[in-house]
């Protein structure tokens, strides 16, 4: 007897459970999303950062506009409530906070995704003892509350709650006043130093007034200083400080909440004194350079004229010079150099050089002292120069015409006019030389023999140097004896030097440099230069002559 066939169970039951769960997930997804989305609370001035309120904000009962975004579309039946709480936990609770502002906050009448409310400083204080007159909270220990937005959403299974807060801090006690400033006198200025007496200090205001003059808190000699020192050259009224006049000095501090301390007490005194910078000392010692030139005065006309004259002479005589040089130059065709390349004649040379510059200012015959040495004490800082030459002709070497420019600066200390002793004022002398040069480089052997990578050369040209002396306030010097501490000195320069072709070290690298960049030669060089910058022996010039070894690197294209 055969067994009856087993009928497989219907698959509907297996399918029903997953389908039900999927549908339930779809229904619950928005609810889960809302439960995980926090409300964003901001202000226009601070964004999501805490709002800091000081004593004056409290006294003025400043209004703050809080804005919020539910970050979800509200549904029918949702409610939004706003509170001031002392902690964030009270905001996320379902019960009302135990303290309430006075007057009470105006609650939203409709539920919108984005909304705002205006709250005053005194409402934010809640039940703080003595309100704005509270003396327990300063910048280092502020009183903190939170503006709270709470949304209750109606769901299938009861209420869903989301919340957002923004922190508000109060500092109601001003910082302790700084110590009275200590003044270091300068020429028409004072350097002030003081000590903070409050860890909450963020910035400082400085007051400088003639002795016994009342202080106007709204008029400051310096404001928003973030360090405990400042250099002032004018008083609180905007007037330049006058040497040998007494001034009363005060400082007050400001914390991060805008609270300002009392003025430092008692008042300290400062008196600017005359200090001789380099140019003033030079003129007092009998120096004849009146200066008065400079970048804005057209004082470089001599250099421009010299350059124009050189260019005119070159253009006029170029044909004759070329003919004479070609006549004596080798007439054989250019052969490949030791790198194996038939390279075109080099046309440009760019050189960077440096040396220690020691201008012979004290050699002026009319001087009764050594003003340069008195201020700078024999310091010879580095001078930086760049030279760009055009290689016009190649008669058994290269004939070059070019221009040079450089920069040099020396720092020293000005001298007290009354005693001649060094002061705290910085005295500065800048020299910016310019020149036009012509030269010859004997590079024929270095081109043909790798074992002889030496290029001797000589140069000569006209030079002009812009010089400027600066006093302790950073302004161009002006001497009581007359004259202005900026001008030009003119002269000439000659150079003898030798360069070493670095390509001889690695032949393949030299070829790669030429093929890849067009550089035909890179050299290290040493040269000895003589410069006569004395207006060609005329009186009234600041003598900037020197002679020194110079070292550098050059590239040729």
Name the band, by pLDDT with cuts 50, 70 and 90, for residue 35.
very low
Cβ 139 vs Cβ 120: under 8 Å: no
Strands 158-170 and 51-53, bridge-based pairing: parallel
Entry pTM: 0.75
Q: Is the confidence at residue 136, as pLDDT, over 90?
A: yes
Average of per-residue pLDDT across 459-469 = 98
Q: Is the confidence at residue 10, as pLDDT, over 60?
A: no
Name the band, by pLDDT with cuts 50, 70 and 90, for residue 324.
very low
Residue 93 neighbours by CB under 8 Å, 6+ apart: none
Give the separation between CA 81 and CA 111, rounded to whole angstroms.
9
Q: Which 3 state secondary structure label does DSSP give 471?
A: coil
- Architecture of the domain defined by 279-328+346-556: Beta Barrel (2.40)
**Model pLDDT, residue 336:** 55
Name the band, by pLDDT with cuts 50, 70 and 90, for residue 334.
very low
Q: Is the confidence at residue 362, as pLDDT, over 60?
A: yes
Of 540 and 300, which is predicted with more confidence? Answer: 540
Give the separation between CA 275 and CA 410, rounded to whole angstroms.
18
**Model pLDDT, residue 320:** 38
Cβ 245 vs Cβ 232: under 8 Å: no
Average of per-residue pLDDT across 389-398 = 94
| 172, burial (CB in 10 Å: exposed 0-12, middle 13-18, buried 19+) | buried
User: What is the residue-averaged pLDDT of the chain?
Assistant: 87
Residue 277 neighbours by CB under 8 Å, 6+ apart: 187, 375, 414, 425, 427, 469, 470, 471, 472, 477, 485
Average of per-residue pLDDT across 82-101 = 92
Domains 182-272 and 279-328+346-556 share a fold: no
Supply the DSSP string of 231-275, one letter for each residue: EESB-TTSPBP-TT--EEEEEEEEETTS-BPPPPSSPEEE----E
Give the separation between CA 427 and CA 409, rounded to whole angstroms.
11
Which range is most confident: 86-100, 142-156, 297-311, 361-375?
361-375
Q: Is the confidence at residue 30, as pLDDT, over 90?
A: no
**Model pLDDT, residue 233:** 96
Supply the DSSP string of 404-423, one letter for each residue: EEEEEEEEEEEEETTT--EE
**Model pLDDT, residue 173:** 98
Q: Is the confidence at residue 506, as pLDDT, over 90?
A: no
Give the separation between CA 531 and CA 388, rounded to whole angstroms.
18
**Model pLDDT, residue 345:** 86
Instruction: List pLDDT tens digits, range 159-200.
Output: 589 999 999 999 999 999 999 999 999 999 999 999 999 999
Q: Is the confidence at residue 214, as pLDDT, over 60?
A: yes
**Model pLDDT, residue 342:** 63
> What percentage of the chain has pLDDT greater than the value 90?
75
Of the candidate ranges 221-225, 253-257, 298-302, 355-359, the one whose mean pLDDT is the lowest = 298-302
**Model pLDDT, residue 516:** 78
**Model pLDDT, residue 153:** 86
Cβ 496 vs Cβ 441: under 8 Å: no
Instruction: List pLDDT tens digits, range 241-287.
Output: 999 999 999 999 999 999 999 999 999 999 999 999 999 999 999 99
Residue 2 neighbours by CB under 8 Å, 6+ apart: none
**Model pLDDT, residue 293:** 73
Q: Is the confidence at residue 157, as pLDDT, over 70?
A: no
Of 117 and 14, which is predicted with more confidence? Answer: 117
Instruction: List pLDDT tens digits, range 399-424.
Output: 999 999 999 999 999 999 999 999 99
Average of per-residue pLDDT across 538-547 = 96
Give the separation between CA 315 and CA 148, rounded to whole angstroms.
84
**Model pLDDT, residue 308:** 47
* Nearest CA-CA partner of 84 in 43, 123, 33, 35: 123
**Model pLDDT, residue 18:** 53
Of the candidate ranges 131-135, 155-159, 218-222, 254-258, the one whose mean pLDDT is the lowest = 155-159
**Model pLDDT, residue 236:** 98
**Model pLDDT, residue 1:** 46
**Model pLDDT, residue 7:** 54
Structure tokens at 213: 């003059």
Average of per-residue pLDDT across 128-150 = 97
How close are the terminal C-alpha atoms of the chain, in Å? 111
**Model pLDDT, residue 304:** 46
Give the separation between CA 147 and CA 46, rounded to whole angstroms.
14
**Model pLDDT, residue 414:** 97
Instruction: List pLDDT tens digits, range 419-446.
Output: 999 999 999 999 999 999 999 999 999 8
Cβ 482 vs Cβ 474: under 8 Å: no
Q: Is the confidence at residue 378, as pLDDT, over 60?
A: yes
**Model pLDDT, residue 155:** 65
**Model pLDDT, residue 26:** 45
Of 518 and 556, which is predicted with more confidence? Answer: 556
Cβ 216 vs Cβ 236: under 8 Å: yes
| 429, burial (CB in 10 Å: exposed 0-12, middle 13-18, buried 19+) | buried
Average of per-residue pLDDT across 287-292 = 93
Name the band, by pLDDT with cuts 50, 70 and 90, for residue 481.
confident
* Nearest CA-CA partner of 546 in 497, 491, 487: 491
What CATH number does the domain located at 182-272 have? 2.60.40.10
Cβ 436 vs Cβ 402: under 8 Å: yes
Q: Is the confidence at residue 391, as pLDDT, over 50?
A: yes
Cβ 122 vs Cβ 131: under 8 Å: yes
Of the candidate ranges 223-237, 290-304, 384-398, 486-500, the one whose mean pLDDT is the lowest = 290-304
Name the band, by pLDDT with cuts 50, 70 and 90, for residue 154.
confident
**Model pLDDT, residue 106:** 94
Q: What are phi and psi of 158, to 5 degrees?
A: 120, -165
Q: What are phi and psi of 430, to 5 degrees?
A: -110, 140
Cα 386–391–392 angle (5° rounding)?
135
Of 490 and 339, which is predicted with more confidence? Answer: 490
What CATH number does the domain located at 40-170 have? 2.60.40
Give the separation between CA 376 and CA 410, rounded to whole angstroms.
7
In the Cβ-directed half-sphere of 91, how many Cα atoms lie within 13 Å?
Answer: 24
Name the band, by pLDDT with cuts 50, 70 and 90, for residue 19.
low
The 3-state secondary structure of 152-166, one letter per residue: EEEECCEEEEEEEEE
Of the candidate ranges 74-88, 253-267, 294-308, 391-405, the one whose mean pLDDT is the lowest = 294-308
Q: Within a 10 A sphere around the Cβ of 185, how many other Cβ atoms? A: 21
Cβ 132 vs Cβ 125: under 8 Å: yes
| Per-domain boundaries in the chain | 40-170, 182-272, 279-328+346-556
**Model pLDDT, residue 306:** 44
């Amino acid at each position: 007897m055969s067994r009856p066939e087993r009928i497989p169970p219907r698959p509907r039951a297996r399918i029903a459970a997953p389908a039900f769960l999927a549908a339930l997930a779809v229904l619950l997804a928005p609810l889960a999303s809302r439960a995980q989305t926090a409300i964003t609370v901001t202000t226009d001035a601070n964004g999501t950062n805490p709002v800091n309120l000081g004593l004056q904000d409290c006294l003025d009962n400043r209004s703050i506009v809080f804005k919020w975004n539910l970050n979800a579309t509200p549904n029918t039946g949702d409610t939004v409530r706003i509170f001031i709480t002392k902690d964030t936990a009270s905001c996320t609770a379902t019960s009302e906070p135990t303290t309430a502002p006075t007057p009470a906050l105006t609650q939203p009448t409709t539920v919108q995704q984005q909304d705002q409310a205006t709250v005053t400083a005194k409402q934010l204080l809640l039940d703080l003892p003595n309100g704005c007159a509270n003396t327990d909270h300063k910048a280092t220990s502020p009183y903190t509350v939170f503006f709270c937005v709470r949304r209750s959403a109606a769901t299938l299974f009861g209420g869903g709650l989301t919340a957002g807060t923004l922190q508000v801090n109060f500092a109601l006690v001003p910082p302790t006043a700084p110590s009275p400033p200590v003044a270091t006198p300068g020429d028409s200025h004072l350097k002030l130093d003081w000590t903070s007496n409050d860890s909450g200090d963020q910035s400082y205001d400085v007051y400088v007034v003639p002795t016994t003059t009342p202080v106007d808190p709204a008029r400051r000699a310096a404001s928003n200083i973030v360090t405990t020192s400042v250099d002032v050259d004018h008083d609180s009224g905007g007037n330049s400080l006058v040497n040998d006049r007494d001034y009363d000095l005060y400082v007050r501090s400001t914390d991060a909440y805008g609270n300002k301390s009392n003025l430092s007490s008692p008042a300290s005194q400062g008196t600017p004194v005359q200090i001789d910078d380099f140019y003033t000392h030079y003129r007092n010692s009998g120096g004849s350079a009146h200066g008065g030139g400079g970048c804005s005065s057209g004082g470089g006309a001599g250099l421009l004229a010299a350059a124009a004259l050189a260019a005119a002479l070159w253009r006029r005589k170029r044909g004759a010079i070329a003919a004479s040089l070609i006549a004596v130059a080798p007439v054989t065709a250019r052969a490949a150099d030791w790198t194996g390349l038939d390279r075109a004649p080099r046309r440009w040379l760019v050189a960077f050089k440096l040396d220690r510059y020691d201008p012979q200012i004290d050699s002026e015959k009319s001087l009764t002292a050594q003003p340069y040495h008195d201020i700078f004490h024999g310091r010879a800082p580095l001078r930086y120069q760049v030279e760009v030459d055009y290689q016009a002709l190649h008669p058994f070497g290269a004939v070059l015409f070019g221009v040079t420019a450089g920069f040099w600066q020396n720092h020293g200390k000005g001298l007290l006019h009354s005693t001649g002793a060094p002061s705290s004022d910085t005295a500065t002398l800048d020299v910016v030389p310019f020149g036009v040069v012509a030269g010859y480089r004997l590079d024929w052997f270095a081109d043909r023999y790798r074992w002889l990578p030496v290029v001797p050369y000589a140069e000569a040209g006209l030079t002009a140097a812009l010089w400027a002396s600066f006093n302790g306030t950073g302004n161009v010097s002006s001497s009581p004896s007359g004259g202005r501490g900026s001008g030009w000195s003119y002269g000439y320069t000659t150079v003898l030097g030798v360069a070493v072709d670095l390509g001889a070290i690695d032949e393949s690298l030299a070829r790669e440099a030429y093929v890849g960049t067009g550089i035909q030669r890179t050299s290290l060089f040493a040269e000895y230069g003589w410069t006569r910058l004395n207006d060609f022996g005329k009186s009234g010039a600041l003598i900037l002559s020197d002679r020194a070894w110079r070292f550098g690197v050059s590239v040729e294209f």
